Amino acid sequence: MFSLPLRDDARLRPLETWHAEEFAAHMDRAREHIRPWVGAAFVTTGVEAARAQLGRYAERQAADGARIFGIWQGGVLVGGVMFVDFNAAAGSCEVGCWLEPAAEGRGLVAEACRALLDWAFEVRGVHRAEWHCRADNQRSSAVAERLGMTIEGVRREAWPYGGTRHDKQVWAVLAPEWRTRRG
């Protein structure tokens, strides 16, 4: 297993099915905070639902698709990043994130996403990486900007939550832009 240092005693590691109890406890701390901003299927309740969620990511990773990674700070799971979609044959991926309130404002998500994007572009040869977020999610939009992404458009009323449909922003960065920026 690998573990990459981020900052402030934080590490990025694969989030696997054997982390189900830890993931469930983390979701108990983060659930209400992240619920408006992530897909409804991601917000699990209980250890079995957490195990099933992590199992779905494990299956998708085994098929060279989506992947999920946790961010641990001080040995505690506080959030994570993932390839929501990963298609090496098409040369594209979508990166996503979540974080519990206690870990916000430290740059952990941007740093973890940089590691994912470096791997996608430099190791796997992906050409395009996307970031999708609700248009009113200023924290998420700010991460996309810090990653050097360009907003390409808004999908109107594409994000249902709480009986209301919200606009969704689509951001992207291309491999040549990433390399120039990381240069």
Is the predicted pLDDT of residue 1 greater than 80, yes or no?
no
pLDDT digits (tens, 9 = 90+) for 10-24: 999 999 999 999 999
Size of the chain, expressed as the number of residues it contains: 183
Query: Tens digit of pLDDT for each residue in 59-75?
Result: 999 999 999 999 999 99
pLDDT in tens, 78-136: 999 999 999 999 999 999 999 999 999 999 999 999 999 999 999 999 999 999 999 99
4-182: CATH, from 3.40.640.10, 3.40.50.720, 3.40.630.30, 3.40.50.1000: 3.40.630.30
Is the overall model pTM greater than 0.85, yes or no? yes
By the 10 Å C-beta count (0-12 exposed, 13-18 middle, 19+ buried), 112 is classed as: buried
Q: What is the pLDDT of residues 122-166, one digit of tens each?
A: 999 999 999 999 999 999 999 999 999 999 999 999 999 999 999
How many angstroms separate the Cα of 44 from the Cα of each of 32, 68, 178? Answer: 11, 15, 33
Residue 182: pLDDT over 90: no
pLDDT at 2: 83
Helix (H, G, I), strand (E, B) or coil at 128: strand
pLDDT at 51: 96
Predicted pLDDT at 41: 83
Residue 29 and residue 99: Cα distance in Å, rounded? 10
Domain ranges of the chain: 4-182
Q: How far is CA 92 from the centre of its chain?
A: 15
Structure confidence at residue 137 (pLDDT): 96
- pLDDT of amino acid 177: 97
pLDDT digits (tens, 9 = 90+) for 23-61: 999 999 999 999 999 988 888 999 999 999 999 999 999
CA distance 133 to 141: 7
Tokens of 102: 């206690």
Residue 94: what pLDDT? 98
What is the C-alpha to C-alpha distance for residues 113 and 129, in angstroms, rounded to an integer? 11
